[in-house]
Amino acid sequence: QQKVQQSPESLSVPEGGMASFNCTSSDRNFQYFWWYRQHSGEGPKALMSIFSDGDKKEGRFTAHLNKASLHVSLHIRDSQPSDSALYFCAASDTGANTGKLTFGHGTILRVHP
Amino acid sequence: EAAVTQSPRNKVTVTGGNVTLSCRQTNSHNYMYWYRQDTGHGLRLIHYSYGAGNLQIGDVPDGYKATRTTQEDFFLLLELASPSQTSLYFCASSDQGNYAEQFFGPGTRLTVL
């Protein structure tokens, strides 16, 4: 079973719109979450991390974590064509300080003019 | 920002061939990782390392060996390559454990004919 599940598989939003991504872990040990973004032809790059319940905002990006339900979301406001990319949720095991991340399958975002 | 480089960027080999993928990071990170990326599977961890001479098994290790010769250099070895190992391979590094961002290289596209 996939331990980190993402939805939707793909998303299309108009320029200036809001893009929202969801992620759920099926493993209670996974409570540290990251969002990574990968543009075509490049390696993934970290967008933000969230380790505590509640919201975390960085510029146009807001992440929300609910540890009780192991659900994390990412919202991008005022989406730009440059935000078109593959977005990954990743989780790490709080019980072992290995640095090991388990990634979801990703969500493809297309921002259209 | 951490610099992670990979070589070669593209590699074609035949079934049963011997392949070595190289990764170097220049920011004195202790942790290094090898992932493969396949459509529909996201990023999957093959092997990782905490430092020179250290190796840890990831989630999809079958058919792969790895060696960490120095703090900077991490190699992935495919001794009898198979078509199922055709994939996009990424190396990453991080400073410490679960709280640290992973920095990814540009990737190596491997085709096994």
Put simply, whether B108 touches A (Cβ < 8 Å) is no
Whether residue A97 is predicted with pLDDT greater than 80 in this model: the reply is no
Res B2: pLDDT: 56
Q: pLDDT grade, residue B1 (50/70/90)?
A: low
Q: pLDDT grade, residue B96 (50/70/90)?
A: confident
Name the DSSP letter for residue B16.
T
By CA distance, what is A2's nearest residue in B? B41
Q: pLDDT grade, residue B102 (50/70/90)?
A: very high
Query: What DSSP assignment string belongs to B44-107?
Result: EEEEEESSTT--EE-SS-TT-EEEE-SSSEEEEEESS--GGG-EEEEEEEESSSTTSPPEE---
B32-53: per-residue pLDDT in tens? 999 999 988 889 999 999 999 9
Kindly determine whether residue B101 and residue A98, on different chains, have CB atoms separated by under 8 Å. no
Distance from CA of B58 to the nearest CA of A (A): 8
A28-62: per-residue pLDDT in tens? 888 899 999 999 999 999 999 999 999 999 999 99
Contact between B75 and B52 (Cβ < 8 Å): no
Q: Which among B42, B98, B105 has CB closest to A99?
A: B98
Kindly determine whether residue A99 and residue B102, on different chains, have CB atoms separated by under 8 Å. yes
Res B39: pLDDT: 85
Q: Which among B43, B96, B99 has CB closest to A103?
A: B43
B50-89: per-residue pLDDT in tens? 999 999 999 999 999 999 999 999 999 999 999 999 999 9
Whether residue A1 is predicted with pLDDT greater than 70 in this model: the reply is no
